[in-house]
């Protein structure tokens, strides 16, 4: 069975500091990995996905199959990045249903 | 079309009562998913539809839960004989059926069972 682990419940950084939100997964096949974000009083929305290999709002994430990780990084955090971040995994053979981690709350202090 | 909508947004009920939630997906999306999220957890998959066919149900979905998508458009999730453990946020998402398509989430229905 697949599993997604986000070890940090809360990550607090100062504005301008680098950010790394950790995500590890367990799955024997070839998963697709995503980061979803939920800003205060907004719905869950896709931030980025590993297959697109793009940077969204300055965030990047690289899939490391050897370490089974998909950490989310941003070099300079902004206050508007404060939100709940969820790492998620899906597999094509199961209708692309998502398996989520427990989430990390990012708090960016001024 | 402003995205996935869910109704009601909040529901308070007494233990033992039945409740029904509705989800309206983005109109051109043929896949519809239900997830449940409890405090401190990420969303957990419950079930999904492709058009009107319910293709998978999680073991989390007990016999008291039933979901339908009769015409391949909106979906309903019914919980019979609610229990306090059913208190959660129920999320709906929709997507196109291509592999790895983005799932767009609704605002959720928050259920409180007293």
Q: How confident is the model at residue A93 (pLDDT cuts 50, 70, 90)?
A: low
pLDDT tens figures, B47-74: 999 999 999 999 888 899 999 999 889 9
Distance between CA atoms of residues A33 and A8, nearest Å: 18
pLDDT reported for residue A50: 84
Contacts of A32 in chain B (CB under 8 A): 100
pLDDT reported for residue A52: 77
> Is B105 in Cβ contact with A45 (below 8 Å)?
yes
**Quick one: average pLDDT of A83-109?**
90
- Residues lower than pLDDT 50 in chain B: none
More confident position, B55 or A29: B55
Q: How far is CA B64 from the centre of its chain?
A: 14
pLDDT reported for residue B3: 93
For the ranges A1-15, A34-48, B36-50, B90-104, which has the lowest average pLDDT? Answer: B90-104
| Confidence check: pLDDT of A61 > 80 | yes
pLDDT reported for residue B99: 63
Can you tell me whether residue A4 is helix, strand or coil? Answer: strand
Q: How confident is the model at residue A51 (pLDDT cuts 50, 70, 90)?
A: confident
Structure tokens at A91: 């597999």
Can you tell me whether residue A78 is helix, strand or coil? Answer: coil
Give the dihedral sign, CA B4/A107/A25/B35: negative
pLDDT averaged over every residue in chain B = 93
Smallest CA–CA distance from A87 into chain B, residue: B42
Distance between CA atoms of residues B32 and B40, nearest Å: 24
For B49-112, the DSSP string reads: EETTEEEEE-TT--TTEEEE-TTSS-EEEEESS--GGG-EEEEEEEE-SSTTPPPEE---EEEE
Question: Which one of A10, A32, A39, A43 would you mutate to disrupt binding with B, by most B Cβ within 10 Å of its Cβ?
Answer: A43
Asked if A21 and A85 count as a contact pair (C-beta separation under 8 A), the reply is yes
Residues in chain A: 110
More confident position, A78 or A29: A78
Question: Which one of A95, A99, A101, A103 would you mutate to disrupt binding with B, by most B Cβ within 10 Å of its Cβ?
Answer: A95
pLDDT reported for residue A29: 78
Residues in chain B: 114
């Amino acid at each position: 069975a697949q599993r997604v682990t986000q070890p940090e419940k809360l990550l607090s950084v100062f504005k301008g500091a680098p950010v790394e939100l950790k995500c590890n997964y367990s799955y024997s096949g070839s998963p697709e990995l995503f980061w979803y974000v939920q800003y205060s009083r907004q719905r869950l929305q896709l931030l980025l996905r590993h297959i697109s290999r793009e940077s969204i709002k300055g965030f990047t994430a690289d899939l490391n199959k050897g370490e089974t990780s998909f950490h989310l990084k941003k070099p300079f955090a902004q206050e508007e990045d404060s939100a709940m971040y969820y790492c998620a995994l899906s597999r094509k053979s199961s209708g692309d249903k998502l398996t989520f981690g427990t989430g990390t709350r990012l708090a960016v202090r001024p | 079309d402003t995205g996935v909508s869910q109704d009601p947004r909040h529901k308070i009920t007494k233990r033992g009562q039945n409740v029904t939630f509705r989800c309206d997906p983005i109109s051109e999306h043929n896949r519809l998913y239900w997830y449940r999220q409890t405090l401190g957890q990420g969303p957990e998959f419950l079930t999904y539809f492709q058009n009107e066919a319910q293709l998978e149900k999680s073991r989390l979905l007990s016999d008291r839960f039933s979901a339908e998508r009769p015409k391949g458009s909106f979906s309903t999730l019914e919980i019979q004989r609610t229990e306090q453990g059913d208190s959660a946020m129920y999320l709906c998402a929709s997507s196109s059926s291509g592999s790895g398509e983005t799932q767009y989430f609704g605002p959720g229905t928050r259920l409180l069972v007293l």
